[in-house]
Chain A
Amino acid sequence: MPLSKNSQSLPAVFGSGVLRITICSLLLMIDIESYTLLLNQVLEMTEQKAFLGVPLTRPKVAFFELSSCEGCQLQLLNNEATLLDFLSLVEIVRFREGMKEAGDDYEIAFVEGSITRMDEEELLRVIRSQARIVVALGSCACFGGVNQLKNRFNDLEWVKKEVYGSFPIETQEVKPISAVIKVDLEIYGCPIKKEEVERIVTALVLGEQVHHPQYPVCMECKARENICLFDLGEPCLGPVTRAGCAAWCPSNRLGCWGCRGPAPEANLAQLQIIMEERGVSRERMIDRLECFGGFAGFVAEVKGKKGESI
Chain B
Amino acid sequence: MLFKVFPAAELIRLFELLAADRIVGPVKKGEDRYGRSLYDFDVVHDFSDLHLDYEQTIHSAKNYFLPYREDLCTFTFQDDGSGDGGDWHKEVDYGVYAPLVLFGLHPCDINALNKLDKVLLGGRYPNPFYGEKRANMFIVGHSCSPQPFCFCKSMGTDSAIRGFDLFLTRMDDLYFAEILSPRAFHLLEQIDCHDPDSSEHRHYMDIMEARESLFIAHVDTSDLTKILDLEFQASVWEEWGQKCLSCGTCAQVCPTCYCYGVEERVDMDFTRAYKEKQLYSCNLLDFASVAGGHNFRPESHTRLKYRYYHKHRGFVEAFEESLCVGCGRCGQSCLARITVPEVIASVRASKE
Contact = CB atoms under 8 A, between A and B. Distances in A.
Interface stretch (B32-40, B123-131, B306-314): B32-40
A133 to B, nearest CB: 18
Contacts of A103: none
Interface stretch (B149-157, B168-176, B198-206, B243-251): B243-251
A75 interface: no
7 contacts: A9-B269, A50-B270, A53-B86, A216-B248, A219-B281, A231-B32, A266-B245
A67 interface: no
Contacts of A270: 242-245, 335-336
B246 A222 contact: no
A50 B266 CA distance: 12
A89 B268 contact: yes
A218 B84 contact: no
A230 interface: yes
A228 interface: yes
B270 A51 contact: yes
Given A223-B68, A239-B335, A274-B335, A267 B246 contact: yes
A223 B269 contact: no
A41 interface: no
Interface string B236-265: 000000111111110011000000000001
B15 interface: no
B59 interface: yes
Interface in B208-258: 242-249, 252-253
A194 B34 CA distance: 37
Contacts of B88: 52
A251 interface: no
Interface in B5-34: 29-30, 32-33
Interface in A225-252: 225, 227-228, 230-233, 238-240
A273 B79 CA distance: 56
A225 B77 CA distance: 35
A266 B63 CA distance: 27
Nearest to A230: B335
B206 to A, nearest CB: 35
A239 B245 contact: yes
A175 B253 CA distance: 40
A205 to B, nearest CB: 9
Nearest to B32: A231
B214 to A, nearest CB: 23
B285 interface: yes
A219 B257 CA distance: 13
B333 A222 contact: yes
Contact of B248 (A52, A222, A266, A271): A222
Interface in A192-226: 198-199, 201-202, 206, 214-216, 218-219, 222-223, 225
Given A52-B85, A53-B79, A230-B335, A225 B63 contact: yes
Interface residues of A, number: 47
B265 A225 contact: no
Contacts of A225: 40, 58-59, 63
Contacts of B292: none
A178 interface: no
Contact of B249 (A82, A219, A269, A271): A219
A130 interface: no
B247 A216 contact: yes
Interface in A256-283: 263-267, 269-271, 273-274
A6 interface: yes
A49 interface: yes
What bracket does the count of chain B residues touching chain A fall in? 35 or more
A86 interface: yes
B267 interface: yes
Contacts of A227: 29-30, 32, 38, 58
B317 to A, nearest CB: 29
B182 interface: no
Interface string A157-169: 0000000000000
A240 B75 CA distance: 36
B275 to A, nearest CB: 14
A283 B285 CA distance: 29
Interface of A: 5-6, 9, 49-54, 56, 82, 85-86, 88-89, 198-199, 201-202, 206, 214-216, 218-219, 222-223, 225, 227-228, 230-233, 238-240, 263-267, 269-271, 273-274
Of A5, A267, A271, A274, the most chain B CB neighbours within 10 A belong to A267
Contacts of A82: 268
Contacts of B267: 85, 202
B279 interface: yes
B194 interface: no
B284 interface: yes
B248 A202 contact: no
B245 A219 contact: no
Contacts of A5: 269
Contacts of B246: 215-216, 263, 265, 267
Contacts of B253: 222
A49 B65 CA distance: 39
B302 to A, nearest CB: 12
Interface string B265-291: 111111000000001010011100000
Of A214, A215, A266, the most chain B CB neighbours within 10 A belong to A215
Contacts of B244: 267, 270
B248 A215 contact: yes
Which 10 pairs between the two chains have the least Cβ-Cβ distance?
A53-B85, A222-B252, A233-B33, A218-B247, A223-B68, A85-B268, A219-B248, A214-B286, A231-B32, A214-B285
Nearest to A277: B337
Contacts of B30: 227, 232
B245 A216 contact: yes
A274 B248 contact: no
Contacts of B286: 214-215
B111 interface: no
